[in-house]
Amino acid sequence: MFPKSALFGIVPATIAVFCIGFLSKPSSRKWVTQMLGRKTPEDVEQGTSTPKTLDSLYRFEGVSFVHLPLAFAPAQLAIPARLAAAAGYIIDTGRQSPGIFRVPGQKKAIDALYKHLSHQIDRVPSSPLHIQLTARPLTLPTTIKYDPYDVASLFKKLLNDIPNGILGSIIVFNRLKSILDSPASIDTTNSTNSLQISLDPFEKFVMKSKHITSPVENTTAPGSQPTKAEQIALALLKTQSSDRLSLISAVFGLLTFLKEDECCPLNPNSNREAATGTKMSPQAFGVIFAPLLLGNLTHLIEIKHLDSPKMEINSKNTQSLALAKSVERNRLSSDIIVMMICHWETVAEHLNGFR
C-alpha cells in the first residue's frame, strides 16, 4: 500500500492532468467560459452576444461622452463607448472630408476597427455582480491604417447594431411623422401656419414648468400651437429612457454639425442629391441614414395606400409590392431625418430647457 503522504501528491497531479486535457479542447474551454459568465472572442466577432435592448447594450460595453458644441447638443451626452470613439474622430475630421458618410470606407479597415473596439470591450468579463454602468473611454487604434471615411462607415455599422434603430420606438416615429405631415413652416409663429396638434397633459405640464417660450404664450390668436422644433423636442421626451434620448441627440447633433450651412425647408419636389460642396446636405444624410432610423422595426411603418387588402388581392407581383413598401418606408424615414436636421439646433435648445 502507498503511504498517505504519496497519495496527497498523486491525487492533485491526476486532477491537474485531467483539467489540462479537458480544457485543451475548444468546446470545453467555451463551456467553462460561458459557465463563468464571460464573453468569448467568437461571440464578439460573430455578434452572437450583442444585447437585445439599448439598456443592456449600455451595460455590456459601458459608455463614453460625446463632446459636441453647445449649439448642437442639449448636454454632455453619454452613449455606447464604441459609438462614442467613432463619433469623436468624425467630429474632429468630418468637416474637412467631402462626402462624409456618402463615400464608402474600405471593408478591411472597417472590419479591423470593429474587431479592435469589440476586443477592448471583451477584456472586461460580463457578470451580474459588475456595476450597471461603466464609463469607458475607448480610442481608435494607432496600429491600423484608416481615414475619416472608414470611421464614418464604422459609425454606421455600429448604429446598425443598436436594438430598434436610432429612435427605438414606432410610437416616436409616428409622432414625428405627424409633425412632418403638418402644413406648418419652419419655426413659424404665425397662427395661420401653426401645428394643428393638440398637446396632451404631459406636454402642457412640461411647457408650463420649464417656461418654454412658444406661440401658445406669445400670441393671442386662437388656435395657436407650438412650433415644429418644440413639437419635436416634446416628442423626443417621450422616448423609453434617457439613454435613448442621449443616443438620438448625439446622432442628430453630429449630422447637424456636419451638414452644409444652408438648410432649406423640406420640399417634396426638391432634388434629393447630395451637395457638391465639402459638407453634406440634410437630404443626403436622410437617404443614407433612413434604414437606421428604426432598424429592425422599419417593417412596422404603415403605408396606408399600399397596405389596403384590395391592393394585396389585385397585385400580380407581390415582390413589386414589397419593394414599393420598402421604398416608401425609406422615403418617410428620410423625410423625418431631414426635418430633424433642419430643426435640430432649436430642438437642442428646447431639450436643454426641458432638462
141-174 residue pLDDT tens: 999 999 999 999 999 999 999 989 999 999 999 9
Grid cell of 304 as nine digits: 396606408
pLDDT recorded at residue 10: 58
- H or E element, residue 20: helix 4-23
Helix/strand/coil (H, E, C) string of 166-235? CCCCHHHHHHHHHHHHCCCCCCCCCHHHCCCCCCCHHHHHHHHHCCCCCHHHHCCCCCCCCCHHHHHHHH
Residue 10: inside a domain, yes or no?
no
194 and 149 within one domain: no
308 and 227 within one domain: yes
303 and 194 within one domain: yes
CB 53 within 8 A of CB 163: yes
306 and 205 within one domain: yes
Grid cell of 252 as nine digits: 442628430
pLDDT recorded at residue 327: 93
96 and 53 within one domain: yes
Residue that finishes a domain, picked among 160, 184, 216: 160
10-59 residue pLDDT tens: 555 555 545 555 445 555 444 443 433 334 434 433 444 556 788 888 88
Average predicted confidence (pLDDT) for the chain: 74
Buried-state track 95-118, b at ≥16 Cβ within 10 A, e below 16: eebbbbbeeebeeebbebbbebbb
Percentage of the chain lying above the pLDDT 70 cut: 60
287 and 153 within one domain: no
Task: For the beta carbon of residue 272, count every other beta carbon within 10 angstroms.
Answer: 13
Where is mean pLDDT largest: 3-7, 134-138, 236-240? 236-240
Conformational region of residue 229, where left means phi above 0, alpha means psi within -120 to 50, and beta covers everything else:
alpha
pLDDT recorded at residue 303: 87
Confidence of residue 279 (pLDDT cuts 50, 70, 90): confident
Residue 212 has pLDDT above 50, yes or no: no
CB 299 within 8 A of CB 332: no
User: Which of 155-159, 272-276, 330-334 has the lowest average pLDDT?
Assistant: 272-276
243-265 residue pLDDT tens: 999 999 999 999 999 998 655 44
Residue 15: inside a domain, yes or no?
no
80 bridge partner residues: 63
Domain span at 301:
170-354
pLDDT recorded at residue 170: 94
133 and 253 within one domain: no
Closest CA to 208 of 329, 65, 353, 19: 353
Residue 5: inside a domain, yes or no?
no
pLDDT recorded at residue 276: 43
58 against 180, higher pLDDT: 180
Grid cell of 216 as nine digits: 401658445
Residue 108: inside a domain, yes or no?
yes
Residue that finishes a domain, picked among 160, 194, 219: 160
How many whole angstroms separate alpha carbon 25 and alpha carbon 53? Answer: 33
pLDDT recorded at residue 132: 47
Q: ∠ at Cα 251 (248, 253), nearest 5°?
A: 100
CB 80 within 8 A of CB 135: no
Residue 116 has pLDDT above 60, yes or no: yes
280 bridge partner residues: 259
- H or E element, residue 28: helix 26-35
Residue that finishes a domain, picked among 160, 187, 203: 160
305 against 71, higher pLDDT: 71
What's the number of domains the chain is made of?
2
How many whole angstroms separate alpha carbon 175 and alpha carbon 236? Answer: 9
Grid cell of 305 as nine digits: 395606400
Cα dihedral 49/53/59/61 (nearest 10): 50
Residue 129: inside a domain, yes or no?
yes
Return the half-sphere exposure (C-beta side, CA atoms, 13 A cut-off) of residue 138. Answer: 28
Grid cell of 299 as nine digits: 417593417
180 and 71 within one domain: no
Percentage of the chain lying above the pLDDT 90 cut: 43
Residue 349: inside a domain, yes or no?
yes
Residue 2: inside a domain, yes or no?
no
pLDDT recorded at residue 225: 67
214 and 91 within one domain: no
247 and 269 within one domain: yes
Which whole number is the average pLDDT over 119-138?
A: 59
219 and 185 within one domain: yes
Residue 12: inside a domain, yes or no?
no
DSSP 135: B
How many whole angstroms separate alpha carbon 323 and alpha carbon 330? Answer: 11
174 and 152 within one domain: no
How many whole angstroms separate alpha carbon 186 and alpha carbon 287? Answer: 21
